[in-house]
Amino acid sequence: MFDLVVRGRVFSGNLRQGSVYIKDGKIARVTADDSERAERRVLLRPNQFLLPAATDLHVHLRDWNQAYKETVESGTKAALSGGITTIAEMPNTDPRLDTAENVRRRIKLLRERSYVDFAVHAGVPERVSELERMRAAGSFAVKIYPQEMPRFREVALTAERLGMKIAIHAEVGAMIGTSGEPLAEVDCVKGLLSLVGRGMNVRFAHISTVAAAALINRKRGEGFNMRMEVTPHHLFMTRLLSESRIGLASSVRPPLRSGGNVRKVRSLLRRSVFDFYATDHAPHSRKEKSSENPAPGFSGLEFAFPLLLAREGPGRACKLYCENPAKHLGIRKGLVERGYEADLVIFSRRSWPIDPSKFVSKGRVTPFEGDTLDYAVDIVFKAGRVAYETNRFRKQGVTAVPPAAKKGD
Ligand code: DOR
Ligand code: ZN
């Protein structure tokens, strides 16, 4: 006897009528008919459909000394309500995740407070030898920020030797905020591509320009193991529209781009140049966002999945936000197939406005404010159990994603 069956329109390659049977937290069977028995049965309404839950590889949860911006609890509830059941945390917390001890403390906090499964990026440590202990403490990757670029080879070679993945914020630090700014990303990528080795597993975070994407894409055609993320705001928001809505609070790293660039980035998405969609959820207080010199970054977890679904359809949304990132972390999620974890989302087709004042996240600034979306998250299952249902959360057990075992996967 199965624990649960969800019957209705299900995404499995495309949306079709079917039944998804769940047993012991996993998808046990996917069939076209409804012939088996289960303890609980959920029948989807005609305006509802079932998708895999998302994995977001780029999230800032803050907490600790920045709990006023976000906490693990508020941020992971925001994720869950947006149909996301796994996140990868960035290390620029306060204090930073740049020692094995801090990575251990962070994983302990996440185990206690997170509502979703998680992976942790290590920050670049003072001495590169610390990375081995950080990996043993549970980091799957190291994140390299603009100011750390001079140490790229040293850090990346160590990560390669340890079988750790490498995530890069590619901007030339010295160009940020200057008139040379538009080239900050392209110049950094150009410089890095000559330093990347064939054994390195490299992920470029939030690529925002066509030129940088094209350079990376060409290099990977030569057999380098590189991947690219794209954010909701670089795909679907222009600098002008954002500034007309939220003025100076439009500040984000890398910056928002022109309409022409946004259109081209979207066409690259349709040509499968990007591997991952990731929010770069970077919550700040209203005060910090409305200052003369606003903190860079936006909140995004609560609407990123419905937004991508509405703009690009379920096929591309599931590939970029469910299947590919889960594969990158080496977890059995992101597909509605037998043997995969039963982390699933029931969406319905109904309009709702993006209203930051209603966010679960403490970060309430986004240029998408006021946009209307056509799809909404109704229910989120985590390991076959309801973890979220119309503004109610049920904390389920969470798993720390272990370091990826194999090189090159
Ligand atoms: O906009 C950004 N915000 N870009 C970053 O690289 C950091 C992030 C943050 O932590 O606020
Ligand atoms: Zn970030």
Q: Quick one: which atom of ligand 1 is closest to the CA of 145?
A: 6
| Mean pLDDT within 77-104 | 98
Q: What percent of the chain has pLDDT over 90?
A: 94
Q: For residue 403, what pLDDT is reported?
A: 46
Between strands 276-277 and 26-31, the pairing is unpaired
Between strands 202-204 and 226-230, the pairing is parallel
Enumerate residues lining ligand 1, CB below 6 A.
Answer: 60, 92, 169, 252-253, 282, 296-297
Residues in the chain: 409
Q: For 375, phi and psi rounded to 5 degrees?
A: -125, 145
Look up the pTM and report it: 0.97
Q: Map out the domains of the chain as residue ranges.
A: 2-51+337-393, 53-329
Whether 401 has a pLDDT exceeding 80, the answer reads: yes
* CA-closest residue to ligand 1 atom 9: 282
* CA-closest residue to ligand 1 atom 5: 253
Q: E strand or H helix at 242, and its extent? A: helix 239-246
Residues 6 or more apart in contact with residue 229 via CB below 8 angstroms? 57, 58, 203, 204, 205, 206, 207, 274, 275, 276, 277, 278, 280
Q: For residue 178, what pLDDT is reported?
A: 80
| Mean pLDDT within 141-146 | 97
Q: Which fold has domain 2-51+337-393?
A: Urease, subunit C; domain 1 (2.30.40)
Known catalytic residues? 280
pLDDT digits over 217-262, tens only? 999 999 999 999 999 999 999 999 999 999 999 999 999 999 999 9
Closest C-alpha to 302, from 371, 396, 209, 227: 371
pLDDT digits over 300-341, tens only? 999 999 999 999 999 999 999 999 999 999 999 999 999 999
Classify 53-329 by CATH class. Answer: alpha beta
